Structure 1
Amino acid sequence: MIRLLISTAAYLVANAVGLFVATLLLDGFRIDPLSFVVAVALFSAVQAVLSPLITKITFKNFPQLMGGIALVTIFIVLFITASIMPGMEIGGIANWLAATLLVWLGSLIATILLPIYVFKQLRERKRQDG
């Protein structure tokens, strides 16, 4: 149960980092501060649901695209999230493409670094206390 909570927290934080990086680096990409938490939760939920579905469809029909499936998924999830969230605006086509890449890259880096540094320290503290 603890592992599931840690995994979920890491997933949410990784997506938050990715979206935050896009808001910092792209002029037209904007998420209202009050909407940010909801946007991250919605983005993560839609991604969790669509990712296996898109992977299965791609593997079956377009196996050549399997290497870029994460980028395709993030593009679609950004589209859905921006459509639903009134406080989120992405901008023109260049921003859509750049946001897809930045959210993917930010999430990827956070997904790699969080378990190494943050969660490792939490486990070590738990062992010392327990």
Structure 2
Amino acid sequence: MSRTLVSALVYVLANGVGLLVASLVLGDSFTFTFKGFFVATLLLSVVEAVAGPAITKAAEDNVPALKGGIALIITFVGLLVTNFLVGGMHIAGISTWLIATLLVWIGALIAQIVLPRIPVKKAVQKARGKQPGKEG
């Protein structure tokens, strides 16, 4: 698999993790149907990938102080567009929107760090002739 495809897959999976974290923490204030979860994960990833560079450029040109919060703004915009377009997703209340943005961002960030390391570790162990999970 090409490195770009793997990176895109990790990005989508990480956003799915972020959405699940927000849903588990926020309960009935942040919900989606089974189908809505998959559509929301894909759409959130696409919106972030497309809007991200434009938001980053606008922030750097007009409000340099936003540079540190650009990822949160991109996540918020992604959630806003996704919630608007996905019928199986519901976010209730301003506080839920703010907390969900933070939780989705943190969940996706942690997942983007952890997910790529899991298959790599198993592949290295397999290449060395060790079984994953066993000391040799």
RMSD (Å) for aligned C-alpha atoms? 1.6
- Aligned pairs (5 A) from 1:6-17: 6-17=6-17
Q: Number of paired residues?
A: 128
Inter-CA distance 60–12: structure 2 relative to 1 (3 Å threshold): same
Report SS of the residue matched to 1:89. strand
Q: What SS does the aligned partner of 2:116 have?
A: helix
1:111 is aligned to 112
Q: What letter corresponds to residue 108 of structure 1 in structure 2? A: L
Deviation readout 1:90-114 (Å, 9 max, x if unpaired): 1000100000000000001001111
Tell me how far apart the structure 1 counterparts of residues 119 and 96 of structure 2 sit (CA, whole Å).
33
Runs (5+) with no aligned partner, structure 1: none
SS at match of 2:70: helix
The match for 2:134 is none
**Which consecutive segments of 4 or more residues in structure 1 shift more than 2 A?**
121-129
TM-score by length of 2: 0.88
More helix by share: 1
1:82 aligned partner: 83
**Cα distance in 1 for residues equivalent to 2:109 and 2:24:** 17
Post-superposition shift, 1:123?
3.9
Answer yes or no: is 1:55 the counterpart of 2:44: no
Summarize the Cα distance change of 1:45–1:126 in structure 2 as closer, same or farther, 3 Å threshold. farther
